[in-house]
Amino acid sequence: MNYFEAIVLGVVEGLTEFLPVSSTGHLTIAEKLLGLEVDDPAVTGYTAVIQMGAIAAVVLYFAKDITRIIKFWSLGLVKPEYRGHIDHRMGWYVIVASLPVGAIGFFGKDVIKNDLRSLWVVAFALIAWSGVMWLAERVAKQDRTERELGMRDAVSIGFAQALALIPGVSRSGATISVGLFRGLDRVTATRLSFFMSIPALLAAGLYQLGDALSGDITLGVALVGVFVAFLVAYASIAWLLKFVAHHTIAWFVPYRVGLGVLLIVLLSTGTLSAT
């Protein structure tokens, strides 16, 4: 992988990590178009490592919120009067919601890194989860705010985040959709999706850092991709929060379905190979 390819993948990651269109799916497509072997352990690892740039963008964008959550969560461990505060509870919600993706990602790593690294999987997941996103918006009551979050919400959204290990589903699409099914308003579901992304994507990036640097991907190339992803992701976060305040995530459904159908056509005609 060269610096140009790293920049392209950094832009793709930054644009798609937090939009409900599947960053892993788009990275897989981009890697294939660039002539990279999508099932190569180094490329698979790089796909996870480059997400650390997006996580850095989340941490910077929500620095005040994250600092407050850490503060109240820590205080609540020793002082009972802080345990009912939303920021203390949010700390536990993020921790609990991170457990399913962590466990499934660890024990199912061979399937994720090999069997699921196929453009056929990406194509069908893009289309299938589009139906879930559309339904979530159809039934959404959006009558619950951040202060009304509970542990059941965290568990449900945590398992939704684990589903996003399937390329094409979209981590944000899955978590926001389930948040809407739980009655959360769209902005609350989106903010929660951002917070929950931090431990999951950071752990994945660190875990696969060795794989990413095991092939011909140099540290310099990896850092360039991460930095570009950070810059683009920061702008994407700001845009998405404004967008979901006034628009449904169903706006992304036609794009997802169209891309999925296009992939099926290209794969069926032999224009693209699945891996």
For the entire predicted model, the pTM comes to 0.87
Which helix or strand (DSSP H or E) is residue 6 part of?
helix 3-16
Q: What is the pLDDT of residue 215?
A: 67
Q: Which amino acid is at 237?
A: I
Q: Structure tokens of 155?
A: 């568990």
Q: How many domains does the chain have?
A: 1
Give a yes or no: residue 245 inside a domain: yes
Give a yes or no: residue 86 inside a domain: yes
How far, in Å, are 41, 78, 172, 194, 215 from residue 240 at the CA level? Answer: 32, 37, 11, 11, 35
Q: If the chain, 275 residues long, is cut into consecutive pieces of 10 residues, what is the mean pLDDT of each piece?
A: 90 91 88 83 81 91 94 94 91 92 82 80 93 93 89 93 90 93 92 88 77 75 91 93 89 94 92 80
Give a yes or no: residue 61 inside a domain: yes
Give a yes or no: residue 275 inside a domain: no
Give a yes or no: residue 273 inside a domain: no
Domain region containing 206 = 3-268
Q: What is the pLDDT of residue 228?
A: 95
Give a yes or no: residue 60 inside a domain: yes
Exposure string of 200-236, with b = 16+ CB inside 10 Å and e = fewer, is bbbbbbebbbebbbeeebeeebbebbbbbbbebbbeb
85 near 76, Cβ under 8 Å? yes
Q: Which amino acid is at 191?
A: R
